[in-house]
């Protein structure tokens, strides 16, 4: 079992290593330099940044056109939102590094994408340090309250699980202890040059100034109108006068601006042990019901002690080779690193590039199904279950799993899990295993951002409040929604299930922030939202880029399918139109999905040129930018 070292958020800056920029400038040295500059009357870049963002706060917001592709140098940011990407680029432009920009971008997404991410949620942060060549990861996943019962999602009136949506999702029982504020603070202390207050300042101004509502924001609000109207504080914020904000109107969140400002000024202890902690606990234990709907909104079990005990962890990243590249990702409780890794390890035994596209996709479908079978069998919180991460990513295990892949026909689903025990038989004499057929309950929301700075530092960061709109419960007066991450646990308790409900445990996740290295240097930075489809979105994008020879924009825009060891493969209409008939000939059956994932990626060319790419259309499209665009 990998050791995950907790982060002491009570320690001072001097108690933690502060790498800062690759030039070796630490935060304390930077502050001394700024003080000296101020003493001789010079203008510090940070002061200029503060003035510019303050001026922007009073300017009238305008619609921002999304640009999915940007090429240039000096640093790059890719996210789903133009306001957030612009804030990250401005941090890079004014001397901040990748971590500074990532936190500032994430905070901005908490303003403009409040139904996908925010301080009420959690996530996984992957960082590459160009100076040391090291990759570090932060597990900021939400945690179950210690008192959470095994039957938390069972309706006492019927003895059956609550319907997942909206009854189970919209509840205090679904809320885990948030990890995002602790993640931001830990990342900045370890790798950043900004303080938390500095990193939050642009998003604070954005929340106060507001942003122009687009069709996607209004649609997401309307899709959740019943849930939002059940909670007084949520309805007041997101359904003023009983309706979603109109497209073209300006949405402002003064409560969140005050929360960000105070969090920056007082630090994360204020969030986890101060008044905000008490307010979160009160809201979870007694959601402020409006009485306008019949939703039951079960009460939660979180306590002030749960909030105070929260710590981010620092697990080892997952690593594996694929056709000469090193793919580095997130370890448990994320299942992304191991499942993408196993899928690619299986596929590496075939020459996909020489096959026809349909045959290669059949191999991908079958390899992914095998990896998802092992995900269900083995993946969970390493503090509670023994996850055989090394075995799942081993060549020996992949060679044995290949025995179950028929190049000519689809196997009946679900397929059985393998035996990740270190005793492998690549002769295919005996590879039988156990079928694990448990429903997947992860919601399709979340958001992702990718950052590269001028020194070559890299961040791949996926963050979430789980379902679109999270639990639907807004902390009164604070301007942010609480997560529903605990619905990611299996809803019916099974002692053999690694993702069973247990107090103090972190639910399994599919978030897959990834960095791909070519000859030891970062080449691709990528990740996506989408619940359990995140894994297939990352896998398919890597296949498109590496095996099928697509450039990065084409690899992202290509139609997607999500083979997850289920009876049918969910696929976008364009995918079914292009490949459905041929793949049906292998025995694959399809179900329809309007869209899968929303990738945000950056590619680094050998000469250092950066190509930032975001989704052109899915989820309303994303926005990519570089500090110095190429002519």
DSSP state, 414? S
Residue 613 structure tokens: 């790419």
- If you search the block for the tokens 């306001």, which residue do you land on? 83
Q: By the 8 A CB rule, do 403 and 382 touch? A: no
Cα separation, 555 vs 539, whole angstroms: 11
Give the span between the Cα atoms of 55 and 384, in whole angstroms.
50
Structure tokens at 451: 């950052």
Closest by CA position to 217, among listed 187, 251, 192, 242: 251
Helix (H) or strand (E) holding 4, with range, is none
Whole-number Å distance between alpha carbons of 560 and 558? 6
CB atoms under 10 Å from CB of 245, counted, come to 18
Phi, psi of 615 (to 5 degrees): -55, 130
**Do the bridges between strand 610-614 and strand 69-79 make them parallel or antiparallel, or are there none, so unpaired?**
antiparallel
| Length reported for the chain | 631
Q: Show the tokens assigned to 163.
A: 């319907």
Task: Name the token pair of 71.
Answer: 């090429």
Encoded tokens for 358: 């349909």
Neighbours of 101 (CB within 10 A): 32
Phi and psi at 386, nearest 5°, equal -90, 100
CA 500 → CA 147, 491, 493, 504, distances in Å?
15, 8, 6, 12
The token pair at 360 is 């290669």
Q: How far apart (Å, rounded) are the C-alpha atoms in residues 354 and 262? A: 58
Alpha-carbon span 172 to 169, nearest angstrom: 9
Q: CA–CA separation, 614 vs 279, rounded Å?
A: 37
Residues 261, 52, 203, CA angle at the centre, nearest 5°?
35
Q: 446 an active-site residue?
A: yes
Judge residue 578's burial from the number of C-beta atoms within 10 Å of its C-beta, 0-12 exposed, 13-18 middle, 19 or more buried.
middle
604: Cα separation from own chain's centroid: 21
What six digits make up the tokens of 312?
Answer: 């981010």
- Name the DSSP letter for residue 160: S
Contacts of 84 (CB under 8 A, 6+ apart): 105, 106, 108, 109, 111, 112, 113, 449, 623
CB distance 603 to 610 below 8 Å: yes
C-alpha distances in Å from residue 186, one per residue of 10, 189, 195, 360:
11, 5, 11, 42
Among the listed residues 293, 446, 487, 533, the single catalytic one is 446
DSSP notation for 473-491: -BPTTT--BPP-GGGGS-S
Q: Distances from the Cα of 183 to the Cαs of 239, 312, 372, 466, in angstroms? A: 30, 6, 28, 16
Q: Is 187 helix (H, G, I), strand (E, B) or coil?
A: helix
Q: In angstroms, rounded to a whole number, what is the distance separating the alpha carbons of residues 619 and 625?
A: 18
Q: Which residues are catalytic?
A: 446
């Amino acid at each position: 079992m990998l050791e995950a070292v907790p982060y002491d958020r009570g320690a001072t800056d001097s108690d933690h290593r502060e790498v800062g920029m690759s030039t070796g400038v630490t935060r304390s040295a930077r502050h001394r330099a700024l003080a000296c500059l101020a003493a001789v009357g010079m203008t510090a870049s940070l002061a200029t940044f503060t003035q510019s963002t303050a001026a922007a706060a009073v300017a009238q917001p305008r619609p921002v056109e999304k640009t999915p592709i940007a090429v240039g140098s000096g640093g790059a940011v890719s996210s789903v939102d133009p306001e957030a990407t612009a804030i990250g680029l401005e941090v890079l432009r004014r001397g901040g590094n990748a971590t500074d920009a990532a936190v500032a971008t994430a905070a901005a997404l908490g303003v403009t994408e409040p139904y996908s991410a925010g301080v009420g949620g959690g996530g996984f942060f992957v960082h590459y340090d160009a100076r040391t060549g090291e990759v570090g990861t932060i597990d900021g996943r939400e945690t179950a309250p210690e008192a959470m019962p095994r039957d938390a999602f069972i309706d006492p009136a019927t003895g059956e699980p609550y319907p997942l949506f909206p009854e189970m999702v919209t509840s205090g029982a679904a809320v885990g202890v948030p990890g995002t504020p602790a993640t931001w603070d830990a990342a900045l202390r370890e790798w950043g040059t900004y303080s938390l207050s500095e990193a939050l300042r642009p998003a604070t101004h954005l929340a106060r100034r507001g942003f122009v509502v687009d069709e996607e924001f209004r649609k997401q609000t309307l899709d959740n109108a019943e849930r939002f109207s059940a909670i007084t504080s949520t309805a007041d914020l997101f359904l003023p006068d009983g309706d979603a904000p109109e497209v073209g109107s300006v949405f402002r969140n003064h409560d969140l601006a005050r929360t960000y400002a105070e969090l920056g000024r007082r630090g994360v202890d204020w969030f986890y042990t101060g008044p905000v902690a008490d307010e979160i606990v009160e809201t979870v234990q007694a959601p402020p019901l409006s009485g306008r709907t019949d939703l039951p909104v079960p009460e939660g079990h979180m306590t002030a002690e749960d909030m105070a005990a929260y710590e981010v962890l620092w697990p080892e990243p997952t690593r594996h080779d694929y056709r000469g590249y090193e793919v580095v990702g997130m370890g448990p409780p994320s299942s992304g690193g191991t499942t993408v890794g196993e899928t690619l390890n299986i596929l590496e035994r075939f020459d996909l590039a020489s096959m026809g596209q349909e045959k290669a996709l059949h191999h991908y479908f079958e390899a992914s199904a095998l990896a998802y079978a092992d995900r269900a069998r083995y993946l969970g919180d390493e503090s509670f279950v023994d996850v055989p991460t090394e075995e799942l990513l081993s060549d020996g295990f992949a060679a044995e799993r290949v025995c179950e892949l028929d190049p000519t026909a689809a196997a009946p689903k679900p397929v059985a899990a393998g035996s990740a025990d270190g005793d492998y038989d690549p002769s295919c004499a005996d590879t039988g295993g156990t079928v694990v057929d448990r429903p997947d309950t992860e919601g399709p929301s979340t958001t992702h951002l990718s950052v590269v700075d001028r020194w070559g530092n890299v961040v791949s960061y996926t963050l979430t409040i789980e379902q679109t709109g999270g639990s639907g419960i807004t902390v009164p007066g604070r301007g942010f929604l609480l997560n529903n991450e605990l619905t990611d646990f299996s809803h019916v308790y099974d002692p053999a299930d690694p993702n069973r409900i247990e107090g103090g445990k972190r639910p399994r996740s599919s978030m897959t922030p990834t960095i791909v290295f070519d000859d030891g240097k970062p080449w691709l930075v990528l990740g996506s939202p989408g619940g359990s489809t995140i894994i297939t979105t990352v896998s398919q994008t890597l296949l498109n880029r590496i095996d099928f020879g697509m450039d990065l924009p084409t690899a992202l825009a290509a139609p997607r399918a999500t083979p997850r060891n289920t009876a049918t493969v969910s696929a976008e209409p364009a995918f079914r139109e292009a490949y459905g008939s041929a793949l049906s000939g292998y025995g694959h059956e399809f179900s329809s999905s309007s869209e899968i994932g929303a990738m945000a990626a950056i590619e680094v060319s050998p000469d250092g040129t950066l190509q930032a790419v975001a989704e052109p259309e899915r989820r309303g499209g994303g926005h990519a930018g570089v500090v110095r665009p190429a002519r």
